[in-house]
Amino acid sequence: MNVTRTRSLVVVVVAMAGLAACGQGADSDADSNPPADDTSSSATVELTADGTTAGKCAMPNAATLSGFDTAFEGTVTSLDDGTATLAVDQWYAGGDGAGTVTVATPSKALEDLLMAVDFKADQTYLVSATGGRVTLCGFTGEKTTDLEVLYASAFEG
């Protein structure tokens, strides 16, 4: 087998595995991080954005978003060794009142392939997760009016 064909096969396998991780549903069987027992604002929630859960990309919608167990608005306070730390501005779901969330961020290649968020310092994001894994395919992203309306609709009341 020649090198070009081998590389193409690897890219296809990686792409197929990555696409299976987009827009996972709320009933995902992914491993979950236990919720923090501390309900004070000094608690930290840990999430992963690695694209390992199965699913298909779908147009982000309020019905799907409302089924995720974690959702918040937060501002990136630091980026260090593949981890983004966000100060929570507002919880929509989950979190037990934690004031901080850390997200193990995906590689650049996975960001591009799965429409994963590229966290940047001092930027505000709307983040959803299920089973401790950040949702992809447009459910999580930099705060925009459209995404803010989607979150408000999904978590109203």
Could you tell me the residue range of the domain that residue 30 belongs to?
A: 3-154
Identify the pLDDT of residue 128. 97
* Residue 25 zone, left/alpha/beta (φ > 0; ψ -120 to 50; rest): beta
Query: Which pair of tokens denotes residue 16?
Result: 């197929």
Place of tokens 């609709």: 153
Name the one residue in this structure whose structure tokens are 């298909």.
56
Contacts of 70 (CB under 8 A, 6+ apart): 45, 47, 93, 94, 95, 127, 128, 129, 130, 132
Q: Is 40 helix (H, G, I), strand (E, B) or coil?
A: coil
CATH at 110: 2.40.50.780
pTM for the structure as a whole:
0.66
Retrieve residue 101's tokens: 């969330």
pLDDT per residue, tens digit, the chain (157 aa), is 443 333 322 222 233 333 333 444 444 333 444 444 444 567 899 887 765 554 567 789 999 999 999 999 999 999 998 899 999 999 999 998 899 999 998 777 766 766 678 899 999 999 999 999 999 889 999 999 999 999 999 999 6
What's the domain count of the chain? Answer: 1
Q: What is the DSSP string of 13-44?
A: HHHHHHHTBTT--TT-----PPPPS--STT-E
Query: How many whole angstroms separate alpha carbon 24 and alpha carbon 136?
Result: 8
